[in-house]
Chain A
Amino acid sequence: MADTYTGPVPKPTPETKPFWDATKQHTLKIQRCDDCAQHYFYPRPLCPHCLSRNVAWVAVSGRGKLHSFVINHRAPRGFPAAGPFIIGIVELDEGVKMMSNIVGIEPDPKLLRCDMPVEVVFEDITAEITLPKFKPVIR
């Protein structure tokens, strides 16, 4: 795992470390502004909506909807997965959007649809870094 992963590995910064620390514990955390009451992603110590410093990390359920997606047939050089694989824009129940992979389903556009429910799963890519990915929820 740690020695063999060939894809891009995020290197946390001071402002993103709490996010990556949480995913390593298989928890999804995003930030919420205590002044304007809006969630946001990606991590920033000042709220991108109102520039308040009064922001907090909150653990979220990791449930949301697949807002949009593409199916990449040409993996970038060195990427561990050969195409095709699904890259999605996930809209969490808290309203923020994030990019991720959609796993646990064949990369077939006929099986996917915008707004289908998804939930987070975690993939440990190195000893230090765990990526949040999403799988369809059968409700």
Chain B
Amino acid sequence: MSADITKLRGRVAIVGAAESDELGRLPHKSSLQLHMEATANALADAGLRKSDIDAVFTSGRNMANDVPEYLGIRPRFSGGTQVGGCSFILHVEHAMAAINAGLCEVALITHGESGYSRIAMPAPRWGDDSTNNQFELPYGTSGPASGYGFLATRHMHTYGTTSAQLAEVAVATRKWAALNPKAFARDPLTIDDVLNSRMICWPFHLLDCCLVTDAGGAVIVTSAERARDLKTKPVYVLGTGECATHMMVSQMPSFISWDAARISGERAFRMAGVKHADIDVAEFYDAFTIVPMLALEELGFCKPGESGSFVSDQRTAPGGDFPMNTNGGGLSYTHTGMYGIFTIIEAVHQLRAECGLRQVANAKTAICHGTGGTWSAAATMIVSTER
């Protein structure tokens, strides 16, 4: 890469971040309403008006034009990149590029999904002649729960990682959820609870799997200059990175490493110029317990194969020395189907010290990371209150 990507460091800031009015099981709300609530809340958070928005980024089953129509916005810059649940983290990178190119100034990144209630959700449909229906679905795959396990099985085989180590993640994340009034699942959980929960797709038990909920989330990104004039403390984007490697999990380049995550992280750290020790809080997409463990390895917080011991003894729980998924994550807080936006929202709220009982003390720099599809894409973002 010839361009000096460090020039992008700190050039844009996240100035608004909010969820929909409610999260959980919402049979009375459509996916588009969830977009709209989150957008209204994020604008109020930023102290901006809808007319200030000139760029809209969204992803999911809704297209990049039906969301703006519902919201009553006419974007002059549209972003509809869809690589799965991490897309919204990519959208920050894309918004940063567009803002720095002078093509827009105030970007809305919005997510709304009636993931559980399925209200006004366009139907998924793989054609009978799609690659997916020819080479994976005939073997009885059940979406992410079957696809994500291949890497867990190979990790266990290669490194001796155990189901109890995976369960550590679920238990630690539930402890954070207990501190978050908006979290869906807040009852205490033990390692044995996870191991004794019914098998969904070996090696995943029910409690290794994320929730399925209805929710929306939105963030507002603008230039660092404009951010200075707004009412919230700017959360500067120091570094971003992304990579996509496949759609069908059978085409994953490796089942022992997660190349997309490593590549996305390398760029984000290089752009940000921060060290791992500078990271105060981590928000990692936890579709399944193994996913944030692989993120820890590929982003360089531990060596390949060492995530099992890294997460042991509740290291990522409240009071541990590595605060991770402080909202309760996709495992216990909310998971609509595309969780990535919520990693950003929680990082922003942590850095603005608005998190009440779950607030990480003196959090200045956070890392967000997400998976998309079935280990198919990854995005990393480092944000800070300091430029």
**Contact residues of A with B, CB < 8 Å?**
7-13, 16, 20, 42, 67-76, 79, 81, 83-85, 87, 89, 97-101, 109, 113-115, 125, 131
Binding site for A on B (CB under 8 A): 127-129, 131, 133-142, 145-146, 149-151, 153-154, 157-158, 198-204, 248-251, 255
Give every chain B residue within 8 A of A68 (Cβ-Cβ): 150-151, 153-154, 157, 255
CA A98 – CA B129 in complex, angstroms? 17
CB-contact partner of A81 in B140, B142, B158, under 8 A: B140
Smallest distance from the beta carbon of B272 to chain A beta carbons, Å? 33
Interface of B is mostly: helix
Q: How long is the Cα–Cα vector from A120 to B134 in the complex, in angstroms?
A: 17
Nearest CB on B from A76, distance (A) = 5
Q: Is the CB of A99 within 8 A of B202?
A: no
Task: Assess whether A109 is in contact with B203, with CB atoms less than 8 Å apart.
Answer: yes
In the bound complex, residues from chain B placing their C-beta under 8 Å from that of A73 are 198-202
Are the C-beta atoms of B129 and A13 separated by less than 8 Å?
yes
Could you say which residues of chain B place their CB within 8 Å of the CB of A109?
A: 202-203
- Establish whether residues B150 and A89, one from each chain, have CB atoms under 8 Å apart when the complex forms: yes
Contact assessment for B150 and A76 in the assembled complex, using a CB-CB cutoff below 8 Å: no
A131 to B134 CA separation, bound complex (whole angstroms): 9
6 A–B contact pairs at CB < 8 A? Answer: A7-B138, A11-B129, A20-B134, A74-B200, A87-B146, A98-B250
Majority SS at the chain A contact face: loop
A73 CA to B208 CA, complexed, in Å: 14
Residue numbers in A under 8 Å from B149 (CB-CB): 70
Do A10 and B200 touch (CB < 8 A)? no
A42 and B134 in contact, given A89-B250, A114-B153 (Cβ under 8 angstroms): yes
Least CB distance from B128 to A in Å reads: 4
Q: Is the CB of B142 within 8 A of A75?
A: yes
Chain B: which residue is nearest A69 at the CB level? Answer: B153
Q: Which residues of A contact B134 (CB under 8 A)?
A: 10-13, 16, 20, 42
Chain B residue, CB-CB nearest to A73: B199
Which residues of B have CB within 8 Å of A13? 129, 134
Chain B hits for A74, CB < 8 A: 142, 145, 200-201
* Residues from chain A with Cβ under 8 Å of B249 in the complex: 89, 99
State the Cβ distance, B147 to closest chain A Cβ, in Å.
8
Query: What's the nearest-Cβ distance from chain B to residue A113, in Å?
Result: 7
Please, how many angstroms separate the alpha-carbon atoms of A101 and B250 in the complex?
12
In the complex formed, the residue of A with least CB distance to B133 is A8
Q: B140 contacts which of A12, A16, A69, A87 (Cβ < 8 Å)?
A: A87
Chain B residues closer than 8 Å to A131, beta-carbon distance: 138-139
Q: Residue of B at shortest CB range from A97?
A: B250
Given contacts A70-B203, A98-B250, A109-B202, contact A10 B133 (CB under 8 A): yes
Do the beta carbons of A70 and B153 come within 8 Å of each other? yes
Closest 7 A/B residue pairs (Cβ): A70-B149, A11-B128, A71-B202, A10-B134, A99-B250, A114-B157, A11-B129
